[in-house]
Amino acid sequence: MPFDKFGDTVRALFVQGTPIIGICAAGILIRTLAPVLSDKRAEPPVIAVAEDGSAVVPLLGGLTGANDLATAIARALDITAAVTATGQLRFNVVLEAPPSGYRLANPDHAKSFTSDLLAGATVKLVGEAPWLSQSNLPFSVDGTHTIEVTDHPATGSATHLVYHPVALPVVTVTQGKLAIVGTGPGAARWMSPEVNTILRSATDFVGYKTYLDLVKDFTHGKQCHESDNRVEIDRARQALDLAAEGRSVVLVSSGDPGIYAMATAVFEVIDREANPEWQAIEIQVTPGISAMQAAAAAVGAPLGHDFCAISLSDILKPWSMIEQRIVAAAQADFVIAFYNPVSTQRTWQLDAAKTVLQQWRSPSTPVVLARNLGRPGQTVQVIPLGQLTAAHADMRTVLLIGSSKTRTIQRPDGSVWVYTPRTYQP
Ligand code: SAH
């Protein structure tokens, strides 16, 4: 397929995990991809081939098959690939990247394990794996190190490899992972590269159906544990239980996972239930762009001075407490982001919030109404507080209420910029 934006196209393919063979100078690929290099375990093969077919250089993706691919291309061109990966050269295998059907029980040990072998350690193989026995690894029956090959204890689906740095009694250790990620408000361009990498390597997806739909490009062939369940604690428990079985689980929230989202539910359930089976799980929380940030960016800089966020949902806290917080925030002259403003069941809360706000803010205070940010049907409107009604918002809307200092600037197209000055003169 022809394309004209070389850099953007190559970077987009790389981030999606597509193997790249460039018939061009290695330097062009290096400079193009430098800004998007992040995780060597997930990056696709990137190979430079000299335009006259005289050289093949695997540049990236040594753990995802770049050396084998370069060797295959070189064979077709009747030359030798410029393989520089030490483990591959010495042992003819990359322990960090076993072939499909094998899974590393402790991937974090693989690199130091290889370094030990390069430094002279020997290895005893327990169990069977033809790709290992056919390699040039320094095997010895009384090896200082052991590689154990077992069936996966939880699923039986993939053969399991355990690298023991010293000869240990044969035990299978499975450490599951739970990544709690935020995908941003909607569009792929607002998802961080780190989240993208995690979504690509996960085995199991847990989340509210709407959020799993937002990441469906990543879930092909993976286990999806969708829920319509509003009980977030149950979802958190399910994700932890799957990780305890040794699976690589990703719990998906929109926006940021720590802002009115699943990360908190996970820590609540861990704290409350203290289940010992969850102790070995490697938990990671990965940030995302929250709805209020995307809303602010769409209209200028309304969060440019002190601000706060308040959820108008009274499912988990009583309305009296929410009302008290709105009073305190209004009195303190914060810009306020309202999350969960209106739902089919909760229809009066936004009107009640407006009544409270009007005691402290003038009716001309700018209010940003941002709906479906980054998703199809995005709308962003700025109206004066005096005109705000519950009909302006729903579950997919976030509101930003200006402080007494928030200002608007007319734009040539009739819309306005909104900003809150950094200085605070009365
Ligand atoms: N974790 C999310 C918030 C989840 S609470 C975040 O950080 O953004 C759900 C509320 O977030 C919605 O009721 C709405 O107020 C807001 N929200 C989430 N995504 C949105 C979007 N794409 N556009 C507008 N508001 C959104």
Q: What is the pLDDT of residues 294-352, one digit of tens each?
A: 999 999 999 999 999 999 999 889 999 999 999 999 999 999 999 999 999 999 999 99
Considering the entire predicted model, what is its pTM?
A: 0.64
Q: Which two tokens stand for residue 120?
A: 């002279």
If one counts every other C-beta atom within 10 angstroms of the C-beta of residue 90, the result is 15
**Residues 6 or more apart in contact with residue 207 via CB below 8 angstroms:** 225, 226, 227, 235, 251, 252, 253, 262
Residue among 264, 372, 378, 396 to mutate when testing ligand 1 (max atoms within 8 A of CB): 396
Q: Which two tokens stand for residue 153?
A: 């204890």
Whether 117 and 146 have beta carbons less than 8 Å apart is answered as: no
For ligand 1, whether the C-beta of 261 sits within 6 Å is yes
pLDDT at 54 over 70: yes
Instruction: Give the pLDDT of residue 171.
Output: 40
Instruction: Give the pLDDT of residue 151.
Output: 66
Atom of ligand 1 nearest to the CA of 398: 15
User: Each residue of 146-190: pLDDT tens digit?
Assistant: 888 876 555 545 666 777 665 443 344 457 999 999 999 987 899
pLDDT at 213 over 60: yes
Reduced to 3 states (helix: H, G, I; strand: E, B; else coil), residue 379 is: strand
Alpha-carbon Rg for the chain, nearest whole angstrom, is: 27
Length of the chain: 426
Ligand 1 midpoint to CA 395 (Å): 8
Residues 96-120: what's their mean pLDDT? 77
Ligand 1 midpoint to CA 92 (Å): 50
Whether 22 and 29 have beta carbons less than 8 Å apart is answered as: yes
If one counts every other C-beta atom within 10 angstroms of the C-beta of residue 331, the result is 10
Residues 188-216: what's their mean pLDDT? 92
User: Each residue of 263-284: pLDDT tens digit?
Assistant: 999 999 999 999 999 998 999 9
